[in-house]
Amino acid sequence: MTRALVLFAHPCEESFSAALKTTVVDTLTKRGWDVDLCDLYAEGFDPVLTAAERRGYLTIPANTGPVQGYVDRLRAADALVMVFPVWNFGFPAILKGFFDRVFLPGVSFTLEAGLVAPALTNIRRMAAVTTYGATRWRAFLAADPPKRVIKRALWFVARPDKCRYLALHDMNRVTDEGRRRYIAAVQREMEHF
């Protein structure tokens, strides 16, 4: 059975992001996947990297101590699906903090003679499901940092067979029909993920 870790980063359960999360979880579950929903806000994840954590960042395996439960969940997954809004051309702080605190040396990458090598090779499929207030053009002009992190940096540490980035732009003007079409597109993608 394929196991997916679904990282959800939005504080409001009534949000469109929450509807996307439900679509992802329900679709994968109906396909028979074992879904581990990690709702960062609901779980009270602390995104702040402490001074002690930073000082021990390179000390493997002790560096995982403060976030061991999250490390275990990440290591147990065959797929990683991140559901989040793009705010100010970046990740919500809680998701960025997850990357800072959990994607550690020895977990997501190794350092050998100063060179970085992937360590999250258990992740065979990766996807991001996101929304932007900005238009696609404005996101492009801003260099689209979230897409670059997912499609380049996170792809590098996992080397998944499949990496998808699904984005709905211009949320400030999208219609109800546009939102319905996007949910349907996310559902189709998860049906073939």
Whole-number pLDDT of residue 41: 98
Domain ranges of the chain: 3-191
pLDDT band, very low/low/confident/very high, at 53 (cuts 50, 70, 90): very high
Gap between the Cα atoms of 193 and 191, Å rounded: 6
Q: How far apart are CA 90 and CA 87, in angstroms?
A: 5
pLDDT (tens digit per residue) in 68-93 = 999 999 999 999 999 999 999 999 99
**Domain 3-191 in this protein, CATH class:** alpha beta
Q: What pLDDT is recorded for position 66?
A: 97
Nearest in space to 25 (alpha carbons), one of 38, 12, 11 = 38
